[in-house]
């Protein structure tokens, strides 16, 4: 509080309460003003990469477990979160073992980094192997069984649900069915894009993954977009920015790096990288082979809000 010599400003006021409330509901009200409400500063989304988590997930002695990419401490979130609305992590599942979860989310995106197995998701079964991607509805039991030693990259919008104290949709009301994209189909689709675009000298392209239910939106979930991005050797993307955050998995990328607000961030195998919202960024392939990185963004959220804010930012 200011001393008596300093004039009181509205910014100095603590939370105001109702005078003589007649009910508990009246007593619960709090009142603020532009001086003490609009200056609440949250820590920014960190420009970081999680490389220890995949190392642990892939290490020989790691038991069946889920290893989250958790930046909740630096973002001051009260629940595990990779970005404010998205949680990514690695499920290590030992051979002939299983790991069960019920995502508190509208859905989950899975990419098979290594191994093979079967996932029972409600009434449906997905038989997966390395390089496959599958999407599933939240709120139903997922039992992931590994035939071979397996690592899955799993991304959900659990932080979005926890932020709102929300629960997953009721059975049958999920915004996504179970959707399975095999590694061979993903490769076929990307090859086709390069074939069609070969005369356009495209610097790289992305396969955007959606579903029959989400076909009109082009999203994987109402708030999440999923894209397998590619870049050919020697190529740097055009610098750009958008209001969505990108949570990306390095699928294949020797000598690749990202440039975020002028700072270089080198890729490491199967790292999860965060590209903060609004940051000016581009990705560079300085290697000798086409690189692949799987990007999940909360882009559906911003598309729906008509606030994606995409623009190229050329130096
Ligand atoms: Fe981007």
Stretches in the chain below the pLDDT threshold 50: none
Query: What is the 51 CA–ligand 1 centroid distance (Å)?
Result: 20
Largest Cα span, the chain? 75
Residues 6+ apart with CB under 8 A from 84: 45, 75, 77, 159, 163, 245
| Ligand 1 centroid distance, CA of 252 (Å) | 18
Q: How far is the CA of 204 from the centre of ligand 1 (A)?
A: 13
Burial grade of 132 (CB within 10 A; 0-12, 13-18, 19 or more) = buried
How far does the centroid of ligand 1 lie from the alpha carbon of residue 240, in Å?
6
The pLDDT value recorded for residue 3 is 56
Query: In angstroms, what is the span from residue 140 Cα to ligand 1's centroid?
Result: 32
| pLDDT at residue 4, as a whole number | 61
Dihedral over alpha carbons 214, 216, 217, 220 (to 10 degrees)? 20
Q: What is the rounded distance in angstroms from the CA atom of residue 46 to the CA atom of residue 294? A: 19
- Residues contacting residue 114 through CB under 8 Å, at least 6 positions apart: 58, 130, 148, 149, 150, 151
CB 187 within 8 A of CB 251: no
* pTM exceeds 0.85 for this model: yes
Q: How far is the CA of 190 from the centre of ligand 1 (A)?
A: 19
State the pLDDT at residue 171. 82
Q: What's the gap in Å between 281 CA and the centre of ligand 1?
A: 6
Side-chain-facing half-sphere of 170: CA atoms under 13 Å = 0
Residue 233 CB-density burial (10 A; 0-12 exposed, 13-18 middle, 19+ buried): middle
Q: 49-312 adopts what CATH topology?
A: Jelly Rolls (2.60.120)
Measured in Å, residue 53 CA sits from the centre of ligand 1 at 23
What spacing in Å lies between the alpha carbon of 104 and ligand 1's midpoint? 27
Report how far ligand 1's centroid is from the alpha carbon of 310 (Å).
8
- The pLDDT, as a whole number, for residue 172 is 84
Q: Which of 310, 236, 238 is nearest to 278 (CA)?
A: 310
For residue 185, the CA-to-ligand 1 centroid distance in Å is: 24
**Cα gap 165→13, rounded to integer Å:** 29
Determine the 3-state secondary structure of 284 from DSSP. strand
CA of 277 to the centre of ligand 1 (A): 9
pLDDT of residue 6: 75
Give residue 222 CA to ligand 1 midpoint distance, Å. 19
| pLDDT of the residue at 202 | 63
> Distance, CA 228 to ligand 1 centroid (Å)?
12
- What is the CA(132)–ligand 1 centre distance, in A? 23
178-227 per-position pLDDT tens digit = 999 999 999 999 999 999 987 676 667 899 999 999 999 999 999 999 99
Residue whose C-alpha is closest to residue 285's, from 243, 245, 231, 219: 231
Q: Which residues contact 120 (CB under 8 A, 6 or more apart)?
A: 141, 142, 143, 145
Ligand 1: distance of its center to the CA of 280 in Å?
8
């Amino acid at each position: 509080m200011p001393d008596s010599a300093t004039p009181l400003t509205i910014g100095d006021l603590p939370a105001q309460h109702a005078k003589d409330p007649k009910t508990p509901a009246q007593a619960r009200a709090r009142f603020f003003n532009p001086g003490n409400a609009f200056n609440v500063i949250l820590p920014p989304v960190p420009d970081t990469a999680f490389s220890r988590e995949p190392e642990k997930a892939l290490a020989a002695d790691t038991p069946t477990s889920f290893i989250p990419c958790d930046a909740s401490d630096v973002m001051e979130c009260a629940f595990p979160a990779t970005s404010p609305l998205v949680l990514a992590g690695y499920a290590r599942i030992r051979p002939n073992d299983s790991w069960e979860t019920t995502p508190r989310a509208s859905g989950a995106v899975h990419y098979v980094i290594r191994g093979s197995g079967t996932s029972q998701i409600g009434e449906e079964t997905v038989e997966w192997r390395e390089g496959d991607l599958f999407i599933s509805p939240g709120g139903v039991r997922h039992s992931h069984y590994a035939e071979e030693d397996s690592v899955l990259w799993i991304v959900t919008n659990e932080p979005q649900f926890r932020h709102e104290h929300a629960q997953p949709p009721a059975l049958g009301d999920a915004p996504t069915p179970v959707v399975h994209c095999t590694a061979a189909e993903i490769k076929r689709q990307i090859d086709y894009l390069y074939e069609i675009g070969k005369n356009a000298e495209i610097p790289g392209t992305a396969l955007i993954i959606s579903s029959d239910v989400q076909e009109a939106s082009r999203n994987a979930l109402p708030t999440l977009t999923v894209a397998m991005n590619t870049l050919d050797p020697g190529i740097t993307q055009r610098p750009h920015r958008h209001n969505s955050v990108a949570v990306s998995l390095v699928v294949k990328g020797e000598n690749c790096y990202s440039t975020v607000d002028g700072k270089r961030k080198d890729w490491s195998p199967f790292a999860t990288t965060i590209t903060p919202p609004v940051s000016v960024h581009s990705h560079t392939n300085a290697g000798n082979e086409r690189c692949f990185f799987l990007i999940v963004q909360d882009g559906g959220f911003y598309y729906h809000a008509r606030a994606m804010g995409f623009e190229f930012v050329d130096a």
